[in-house]
A = this chain, B = another copy of it.
Amino acid sequence: MTQPSDKALVPFVSVDNMMRLVHHVGIEQILREIADYIEEDFKRWELFDKTPRVASHSDVGVIELMPTSDGEAYGFKYVNGHPKNTKEGLQTVTAFGLLADVYTGYPVLLSEMTLLTALRTAATSAMVAKHLAPKGSKTMAMIGNGAQSEFQTLAMKAIIGLENVRLYDIDPAATEKCARNLSKMGVNVTKCATPEEAIQGAQILTTCTADKKSATILSDNMVGAGVHINAIGGDCPGKTELAAGILERADVFVEFPEQTRIEGEIQQMADDFPVTEMWEVILGQKPGRRDDKQITLFDGVGFATEDFSALRYIRDRVTGSDFCEELDMLADPDDPRDLFGMVQRSNA
């Protein structure tokens, strides 16, 4: 057997190693650190090569590739979205991602991203809430208690000091699961029987449900003045969670308008519906929250730069550590023109 050269080996972070890393760093600390990387990259927004995701749709779901580059590193994520999977005992969303060196084109990191996507989605929501939610927000309504709900709650605790979460799901078993997982995590949990009950006293309303169809999770009369809405479940064409009336009363903030107009809550609105891009708020070029009565709405769909930031964080964290293993994924003969000779010699 021919030993592969160093350049042939790509560091790989397995699911098991990602879980070990989360415990090693601590769930709240890793959410804070990932949020910092995401915020840094929002500040460098204009230098990224941005493109809407490349989607392959079928009757039952979608498979997407989300590439981006900052000119030095290139990253992409593979992610599927299959809402019917849950009923079959499978994840709705699975993902993995890759970072490569733009100068050589060689991959430098392969990582699981099912967990990392949950972490970066929660970190993004909380980083955005830091800029938009009422100062001193202590209570969040969490509507939809699926795979993302605990991560969303803990990111809000870690990054903006959330103390109370009020849970509601159409399936009480999901709420039980979320409440159980959040016990002993340092946040007060209230299980609610209706969405109306869940939003009582909440400064932040997070919607994260999984049905691949337009539904009205929040109706117009449920949303009072001054709240921040973190709408992350409406993330593909034909899937929304909010009544259009809410969008009309709110100031809407987005990641990448070209993608959000296709996939987000604002797909219900006219093509020129006014939105503010988060990178401009983060850089201080546009106002975020202006007053106590304003409804701010983050229409989050997830953007490629957030995955790029998360992969960049993981690369910086795991390179040279035992949180990754080396994968023999690249053929790299000593003489680059002698690929065939490498194959021949491997049989010796």
The interface of chain A, by Cβ under 8 A from chain B, is 1-2, 4, 7-8, 12, 14-16, 18-20, 22-23, 27, 49, 51, 54, 56, 58, 60-63, 65, 67, 69, 71, 74, 76, 78, 80-82, 85-86, 88-92, 94, 96, 98, 100, 102-107, 112, 114-115, 118, 145-151, 174, 177, 180-181, 327-344, 346-347
Q: Smallest CB–CB gap between A73 and chain B, Å?
A: 10
Contact across chains for A177 and B343 when beta carbons are under 8 A apart: no
20 A-B pairs within 8 Å (CB atoms) are namely: A4-B15, A15-B331, A18-B331, A19-B342, A19-B347, A23-B343, A23-B347, A61-B102, A63-B69, A63-B100, A63-B102, A80-B105, A80-B106, A90-B336, A91-B333, A96-B330, A147-B337, A147-B340, A149-B340, A174-B337
Q: Could you say how many copies of this chain the assembly holds?
A: 2
Contact across chains for B14 and A2 when beta carbons are under 8 A apart: no
A346 to B67, CA, bound (A): 31
Contact across chains for B106 and A94 when beta carbons are under 8 A apart: yes
Q: Smallest CB–CB gap between A346 and chain B, Å?
A: 4
A330: which B residues are within 8 A, CB to CB? 15, 91, 94, 96, 112, 114
Contact across chains for B340 and A150 when beta carbons are under 8 A apart: yes
Cβ contact of A102, chosen from B15, B18, B58, B90, cutoff 8 A: B58
Cβ contact of A91, chosen from B58, B60, B339, cutoff 8 A: B339
For the residues of A in contact with B, the DSSP-based class is: mixed
Given A94-B330, A104-B82, A105-B85, answer yes or no on A54-B65 (Cβ-Cβ < 8 Å).
yes
Contact across chains for B15 and A329 when beta carbons are under 8 A apart: yes
Contact across chains for B339 and A114 when beta carbons are under 8 A apart: yes
Given A107-B78, A341-B177, answer yes or no on A4-B16 (Cβ-Cβ < 8 Å).
yes
Contact across chains for A343 and B19 when beta carbons are under 8 A apart: yes
Contact across chains for B82 and A115 when beta carbons are under 8 A apart: no
A69: which B residues are within 8 A, CB to CB? 56, 58, 63
Given A14-B327, A147-B337, A335-B177, answer yes or no on A74-B82 (Cβ-Cβ < 8 Å).
no
Cβ contact of A90, chosen from B7, B85, B115, cutoff 8 A: B7
Cβ contact of A16, chosen from B1, B86, B148, cutoff 8 A: B1
